[in-house]
Amino acid sequence: MKPQPPFCPNRYCSCHWLDRSPELAEGTWFVKDGTYSPDSVGRTQRYRCRSCGTRFSDQTFRLDFAVKLPLDYPTLFNHQISGSGIRDLARIQGVTDKVILNRISRLARQSIALHARMRAYLTLDEDLVADGFESFTWSQYFPNNIHMLVGKQSQYLYGADYANLRRKGRMRERQKRRRAELEKRFLPLPGEVLRSFTRLLGQLRRYAEKMTRSQLCLYTDEKQEYRRALGADSVELPEGGRLIHIRRSSKVARTRHNDLFAVNYYDRELRKDQANHVRESVQFSREVNNCMERLWVYSAWHNYRKPYRIGGRGGKERTHAQVAGVKKKQVEGLWEGFFYRRAFYSHLVLTESEQLAWFRAFRSPMQESRPPTLQYIAA
């Protein structure tokens, strides 16, 4: 049988929904509508939906949808985990920074989609650790907290969110004046840490809809906002479970025996592997949403490709997702097509944090105009 288009790309058409359209199952919902030959991929079949009249092509379902200059996605992906900066990559590939950012944007959506789909196979069976990774965007005057929720045992990244912070601490007079000047153009909103952490808890609750235990612990450091976001030391979870909040001092030695080890580990790996977070680097992120996209690409590597703690005890061939309880077959099944089969937003069920990343909706310092968004984001 010849390959067929999987569904109508128009989400307002019944043939967009795999579970709602008998024509879709029968393969009678479209007609062939000639071919065209874009420079990038050569001869491509076009189609028309018989139900809504939308015209589309095989290219519509590819990660390279509307791309004129194809780049090798696995190479780009590997560069996101090996400390390469955007400019290095652009130079190596002989393209502009913008092209690289566009392709990373595509990989980020693949990563978010993969993460969201993996939820169906995950039954929460471990305690969790959350923390705010400290970095900055645009300049040191705009520090941030990138909140992360990580499995205490598996080191699986369950969720991530972003909060802009106001620069505090000791500053010279000159620096204070500079800050005041910059803050006329962008002021982090009060309570961003609290809101961001609250969204992260929303992410946690999504996982807690399926859990094997009657209670689980969330370890954090002693930051006030975490306690405030939870509202109590013990809170109810969906399906009658309970979440116990346990606070640990962040000053305790960062060894493997530290209850916050899982986030400390993720923090260390991220700083080592992603150029924009390397301390004292000149390659820091200029834009919050680009920063989050790169984080999601990194998490796809960390969760679904990278072996669980190399050299650690036991199971060195397992991925972090497997340690969190997803079967290898399921991880591999969902991973298939990562570099070429385009994920459609309408087919996903995303959490609030994931939606903010998908739509590039985090507030970013000094963005006078919104960066161009990808044509396929809202599909």
Interface residues with Zn ion (CB under 5 A) are 8, 10, 13, 15, 49, 51-52, 54
Distance of closest approach, residue 36 Cβ to Zn ion, in angstroms: 19
Closer to Zn ion by Cβ: residue 27 or 191 = 27
Residues in CB range of 26: below 8 A, 6 or more apart: none
Distance of closest approach, residue 377 Cβ to Zn ion, in angstroms: 20
Closer to Zn ion by Cβ: residue 10 or 303 = 10
Closest by CA to 145, choosing from 267, 251, 252, 302, is 267
Closer to Zn ion by Cβ: residue 12 or 282 = 12
Closer to Zn ion by Cβ: residue 52 or 99 = 52
Rounded distance between C-alpha atoms, residue 84 and residue 60, angstroms: 30
Question: How far apart, in Å, do the first and last CA atoms of the chain sit?
Answer: 28
Closer to Zn ion by Cβ: residue 7 or 301 = 7
Distance of closest approach, residue 33 Cβ to Zn ion, in angstroms: 13
Distance of closest approach, residue 17 Cβ to Zn ion, in angstroms: 10
| Strand pairing class (215-220; 128-136) | parallel
Distance of closest approach, residue 355 Cβ to Zn ion, in angstroms: 25
Distance of closest approach, residue 53 Cβ to Zn ion, in angstroms: 7
Cα distances from 34 to residues 1, 48, 57, 157, 284, in angstroms, run 19, 10, 9, 45, 47
Closer to Zn ion by Cβ: residue 15 or 218 = 15
Closer to Zn ion by Cβ: residue 8 or 112 = 8
Distance of closest approach, residue 9 Cβ to Zn ion, in angstroms: 8
Cα distances from 61 to residues 10, 129, 350, 365, in angstroms, run 12, 37, 20, 34
Closest by CA to 357, choosing from 342, 374, 337, is 374
Closer to Zn ion by Cβ: residue 54 or 250 = 54
Distance of closest approach, residue 47 Cβ to Zn ion, in angstroms: 10
Rounded distance between C-alpha atoms, residue 210 and residue 227, angstroms: 24
Rounded distance between C-alpha atoms, residue 58 and residue 196, angstroms: 39
